[in-house]
Structure 1
Amino acid sequence: MGMPGTERYTSYMTADGVEAKKPCLVGMTREELTAALAPRPDAKLRGKQLAAQLYSRAQDDFANMADLPLAFRQELGERFQSQPLEIAAHRHSTDGVQKLLVHNGDHQVYECVLLPYEDRVSCCLSSQVGCPMGCRFCATGLGGFDRNLTAGEIIGQYLLLQRISERRVSHVVFMGMGEPLLNLKNVLKSVRLMHEEVGLSYRHITISTVGLVPQIYELAEEKLPIHLALSLHSPIDEVRDRLMPVNHKWPVAEVMKAMRDYYVATGRKITLEYLLIKGITDTPEQAQELARVVKGTPSVVNLIPFNWVDTEQGFARPEKERVQAFRRVLESRGVNVTQRVERGHDIAAACGQLAGQHKGKFARREAPSLPVLN
């Protein structure tokens, strides 16, 4: 396979001497590939072969697509580009995590992460350049927002990570930069490509949201057996309002009803991501209210001790004893609890740390501090 980010067919000159980008094949469905190759009489066959090369084999170099005729490969190089992304930086963690900073030539950068585990290889993908949600604890939200990513830019991240992985990347989480449900059309197209062309199980794909109620219902209507994870982070509206502006529009009770309805529609147990910030979200009172909120809902609460981000809020990570005490309260009330396996701290690839290099048009860097709760 070619080295990631070394795209050879990125632009061409128009008749009036203007440089223009060639159409990119990654992001196209098999049917769209066939249409792009028309009016070739063998377009359907070549479209099927191209889909296999691009997606299931993660091939980015037309010259290496050996099952295609040489003349056809040369034609592809003249007419199209394969991979839409370029790598601006590639960082390696001491724990095996790798992080790529990528862009599509416009230098609006975003990040994706390769997460190898003993029993699987997962990856974390971005859905937007930046994020408009403005969560007060997140580097991405503080950096502001530029635009949605295309389906090709989304699945292109997966393919880049697959090319640098020694093993098959079998699990995908949309927990990188951006709010996936604000870019639902492109996210769903990329998810279907991962399932239909790459061969990933829908059950190994997780979409995370801060709690956009209309889009949760829209996703539920798709009836896809994917996981949906809610970034809850506090069960108390007053606290969540200060941490997450979205809570002003869709408070805890409303978003939890939507998540329960998602479970009813899809049969998929929901995940509640819960960030433990010392003195703010990790108190016994918060744990007791969280247990009440999730009671009777098939769910798992995933605890995430705060990873340092320069938010200017003075947020701190709780000691292990506080984390354990919070977990004991939940478990004593019958809540299914897990704790995030933390990876990639030394390259700022852990939860909430992505996008240190990004600063979009609507960057939020100043806000009044939150009070610490006793």
Structure 2
Amino acid sequence: MVGAGFGGLETVKGLAGAPVAITFIDRRNHHLFQPLLYQVATASLATSEVAWPIRSLVRDRREVTTLLAEVVGVDPDQKRVRLEDGASITYDTLVLATGARHAYFGHDEWEPFALGLKTIEDATTIRRRILLAFERAEREADPALRQAFLTFVIVGAGPTGVELAGTIAELARSTLAPDFRNIDTGSARVVLIEAGPRVLAGFPDDLSDYAQRSLEKLGVEVELGQPVSDCTAEGVTYGEVRLATRTILWAAGVRASPAAEWLGAPFDGAGRLRVAPDLTVPGHPEIFAIGDTVTIAGPDGRPAPGIAPAAKQEGQYVAAVIKARLRGEAAPRPFRYRHEGSLAQIGKRRAVIDFGWIKLRGALAWWLWGIAHIYFLIGTRTRLNVAINWLWIHARDQRSARLITQGRPIGTELS
């Protein structure tokens, strides 16, 4: 089992009680609740509230061996996965749930300046960059440079981009306002740039319109139909506009892990494996691939979205197939993704929810969004901590995780 994300963890959970020995491999020692990662990046939650050690999650599973290692290749002929240190591990059945990273559409040179959000390290780097921008603005005498520090650009208006934009706007206008003396944090510009015609393109038009209006009420500048053409340390270019900024956040696209390259298997434009209806790699019935690593059609014919519920459903299905094989039974019917709804938070009292049969917006949607996310967190203590943090933010506009950690000395970063 390679990858301890939602799909990998669900597969291991589904195999409980089966006569198997599982080797669980991940290059990090924790499982990450990625839907709330942006709240770490915007100082709302601590890292320990969205991540848990893998070993602690499987400590009662004696058949599971957890290894901290990075897989760099697969030899399907020898049935081995190759590790970064030169070692290899044999398998009878292999499940690849290796996830994805942010993609820059052929402009990887933008990555140092336009920060993506996929890991704990990404989140703490973004949090540091945002908070340092206010600190540098507080000491800056040049009005133009001060405004560059107080300009925050988010590229991509999907759920992550919308959630980042709304939360940064609230951070600047509410949380930080009493803390600074030389700057008005409320004057910070938050600019959300989207190449398409609307925000939250995966939501119905009315919810997308509501989300845009809500962002604009928070002070976010929404720029639609404006593809980004350049990102540097000094700013971003979109359309015909050059905007000076020291903080660019990238939420515009993802690219799958190189699992397809390891196997020489077919893949789509985002590098995602094209799997068979039973989630196996074509020509290799002993190799499954799930989550952001793969593309498979949903009920409407479009690819199943790269979200946690899809990965969990795929993990449950793979576990069922493996158990059926062990019992000598026929395999379950081909995998079919069941869309359970789309959710996005816009601000501390605004959200949109699309369940298909019902659509919600506003404060009620925000409460349901919070309840749903708390429910899927791991552990009672974590649920209580997150609930208390959110209630405190809701009542007092205070975010307690405003710590500047790691990175270069303050005099060099963002310079």
TM-score (norm 1): 0.27
Q: Which structure features the higher share of strand residues?
A: 2
